[in-house]
Structure 1
């Protein structure tokens, strides 16, 4: 059983059989699993184990809460599901050089699905390789993100990883250049910085920026220089401008 919730802009799948099939066939699509409080059967325990195996976040909720999420016969189990299929991160890294613009965007706790969608439009149009986000802590890539992307998210390679820092370490080991968007004292103007491709560009949270442990993996910080006093640009705006500069450097 499937439902699109326009108020929350999410997609949910409910019922034992549909959710179990999803767990077996496409566990990477599950953003959050709700299980009804009080269930203590073999299927319940098996589902918990599968969640732990695949790193899926789950919540034990009472029947009333489940009813608000899905008013039909949910049979005590509901999955909140992303609207896309996800690619393998290792494969994206291996094929990075083959993209018209060999640039991969890594999102560190970017929360707004609309920002991800708008950013995807720019990245896809300019030939970028794809987007990487964390399984937990980032924006839910449901209908809102897909709609804001004008369909670009369905064409781009999108991967979800358990740990952003470890994912960047893997890229560094492969000789891929890592750039971070930030305004620290050692940050360089994107228009004058030496930029080498293939590369990864890390964009941080809308308010807090890139986390310290993630920033440590960035070999260079770059920023958009302002000509007027202004607080900051929206992450989608700043990201699009930086992607454009990377595109300009393609030889």
Structure 2
């Protein structure tokens, strides 16, 4: 039985069939974006897949037979798992290896949703020696072939950890003795060019419209802002992230 295919639009990888999907959830659940199953399907094999999804916090949803056929043309047995176009790194491994990077800085993206922004940030972090990225499993940009292209391949070279709960991930970073910085303008935020910058560190960047969620920001030790010399609304997240990452690199150099 053929067990995988690619969506033509963005080279999204689909693993299909009861056994292949079950094995994927057992071996590499961090690679799975979601599992789609045919509406109305309820059987022992499907219940086992549901249980694995719940354990690994992988979203699953029912779709029409037509939608499933659109995802994968072939014998899918009523179930398909969509996978990212890159391998993810476990958060613990990223935190253990980060202090040895040329620039011991991890960039955490709190629900950053624009694929192009993620790609540009990956290029910047990789080029300047950064340790890696942390991205959200839910409500973040889909890191398919489009994101890999916009990163000029950097996403395939840079460690990327995908987490189900960004707040818990930031708590883990604190426990590993990382200094956490939020990129945001607040009443007590520091000018990035005069602030004391320590490494190993995590730079948290927020959603394009809503910014960093309070539950994530509360773990940060400091907030950083970029001073503007002209009246201007804001920079987008990729521009702001690139400026702050480059300042960390300049200090370390």
| Fold in common (TM above 0.5) | yes
What are the Cα deviations for residues 47-81 of structure 1, in whole angstroms up to 9, with x where unaligned? 10010011100001121221222233221011111
Runs of 4+ in 1 over 6 A off after TM superposition: none
What are the Cα deviations for residues 166-211 of structure 1, in whole angstroms up to 9, with x where unaligned? 1111221232100000012221211111111110000000111100
> What CA distance in whole angstroms lies between the structure 2 residues aligned with 1:2 and 1:40?
22
Match of 2:139 in 1: 137
The TM-score normalised by the length of structure 2 is 0.94
> What CA distance in whole angstroms lies between the structure 1 residues aligned with 2:116 and 2:76?
29
| Higher mean C-alpha deviation, range 167-176 or range 206-215 | 167-176
> What CA distance in whole angstroms lies between the structure 2 residues aligned with 1:172 and 1:51?
28
1:8 positional shift: 5.3
**How many residues are matched?**
251
User: The residue matched to 2:230 in structure 1 has which SS?
Assistant: coil
Match of 2:161 in 1: 159
5+ unaligned residues in a row in structure 1: which ranges? none
1:9 positional shift: 5.5
User: The residue matched to 1:67 in structure 2 has which SS?
Assistant: helix
User: The residue matched to 1:95 in structure 2 has which SS?
Assistant: helix
> What CA distance in whole angstroms lies between the structure 1 residues aligned with 2:26 and 2:177?
35
After TM superposition, list the pairs within 5 Å mapping 1:1-251 onto structure 2.
1-7=3-9, 10-250=12-252
User: The residue matched to 2:252 in structure 1 has which SS?
Assistant: coil
> What CA distance in whole angstroms lies between the structure 1 residues aligned with 2:187 and 2:8?
43
> What CA distance in whole angstroms lies between the structure 2 residues aligned with 1:27 and 1:172?
25
Query: Is this contact kept in 2: 1:11–1:143, CA < 8 A?
Result: no
1:152 positional shift: 0.7
> What CA distance in whole angstroms lies between the structure 2 residues aligned with 1:142 and 1:110?
15
1:25 positional shift: 2.0
RMSD over aligned Cα atoms: 1.5
1:37 positional shift: 1.5
1:21 positional shift: 2.7
> What CA distance in whole angstroms lies between the structure 2 residues aligned with 1:40 and 1:96?
44
> What CA distance in whole angstroms lies between the structure 2 residues aligned with 1:185 and 1:124?
32
Query: Is this contact kept in 1: 2:10–2:146, CA < 8 A?
Result: no
> What CA distance in whole angstroms lies between the structure 2 residues aligned with 1:16 and 1:113?
31
User: The residue matched to 2:37 in structure 1 has which SS?
Assistant: strand
